[in-house]
Each structure stands twice: as C-alpha cells, then as structure tokens.
Amino acid sequence: MEKHQGGALMVIEGIDNAGKTSTIELIVPTLSRLGFNVAVLREFSSHFSSSTFTFVVQGTETPGWLQAMLRALEHLLSLTEVSQVLAAANGIVLADRYLDTNIVYQSLKLERQMDQADRAEARKRIADWIEMLYEWSPKPNHTFLLDVPVEVSLRRAANRSDLYVQKDSQFLESARRMFLERATKSPERYSIIDATQSQERIASILVETMRLKMSHNKGRSTDETP
C-alpha cells in the first residue's frame, strides 16, 4: 500500500468533554490501514507541564498574565518534541489540543481577573497578546473543532473525576463562543464538526477530510517538484 510522504499537523480542538481524545483513538487505526504513518501529540504531555505549572498555580491566586506566560513556556519547551515528531512523521501528526486551546482558555482566565467594566474592551487585546506568545509555534495544516453544547459537555463531565476538567458552565459557554469565532473567521483552516453525532460518524468525517487534504497536498508537492 502506498505510504503518504511528508508530515502534516492535524489538530483536534474543542471545549472539555467534546470527545477529542476518544475520537483520536478511533481514527488512528483507520488512518494506519489507509497507509498513513500516524503519530499522536498530546499538549502538555511532557516537560514540566504537569509538575511545575501545578506547583506554581495550584492553591494560589496566581495572576492571569503569569499563568498565560507559564503555559506559553510549557509550549515552548514542547516545541522540540513537536518538531521532531513532525520531521520524523511520514504521514499525519494528530494533536489532541494545541494553540487554540491555549489562546482561548488563557484569554478567558486572564479576562476573569479583570474588573467587569474593563472586560469587553480588553477582550480582543488580551487574545492578541496571548496569540503573540505562540507565534513561533508550528502552525497546523488543519484544525477540526469538535463543537458540543455546554450542557452536553457538563453531562459527560459528571462521570469524570479529572482534576482539570472544566465544569464551569459560564466559562465553557465563553470558550465555545471563542472557538467558534476563530473557526468562522478562517474557514479554510478549520472544520467545525457537530460532536453530538456518534463517535463513529465523527471519526468517519475526520478520516475522509484528512485523506482528501493529504491527497491534495501530495498532488501540490508533485506539481512543485522541478
């Protein structure tokens, strides 16, 4: 079977309990059967994200700007790993959350520490500043936004005891809105997926979209070869 050349970064984003991790687990075997070499990258899976950040932030009133910079530093430390995975991958790198989650979640956390009267005016400025912290990151070839209503997220969260699962409905509503705004502004870079569908249906949509995009990229690379 033909092996597809060149690493492509495909990102799965969405609010908590949208089904990102379980969807990735479903599509990896299918993509492999189609002839793609697949690597999975999980944001904050290594370096000091699970230790230093927790030590600094947990149980403290850490300023939002400091939390945002610490998250950006985590991401910076993971870039070597990201670059190595992309360079070694002869196919697709699937990221379970990536830049959008950092930008959306840290923007909202910083905004919440401001006076109510200042929030609306500062919202775009905050997001722009946080996005600037990640401007050196490898950009995704495509991002799939798994979109679910907040009530669905909360219902799914009821059976989870994870320390970092977000269960604040107001926060999730704001995060969902920001994700959708980002995706709507750049439709060429995002696919918005109704994640209330069955996981099998969602997986099928993602696999077919990735297959088509990889075929397109391969054709373009062939055309550009002298």
- Strand, coil or helix: what is 58? coil
Q: What structural domains does the chain harbor? A: 8-224 (3.40.50.300)
Q: Which segments in the chain show pLDDT lower than 70?
A: 1-6, 43-62, 81-82, 85-86, 88-90, 115-121, 161-165, 217-226
Strands (E), 97-181: 142-147
The pLDDT assigned to 4 comes to 36
In whole angstroms, what separates CA 54 from the centre of its chain?
A: 20
Please tell me the predicted confidence (pLDDT) of residue 25.
95
Q: What is the pTM of this model?
A: 0.81
pLDDT (tens digit, 9 = 90+) per residue, 183-224?
A: 999 999 999 999 999 999 999 999 999 999 888 766 554 444
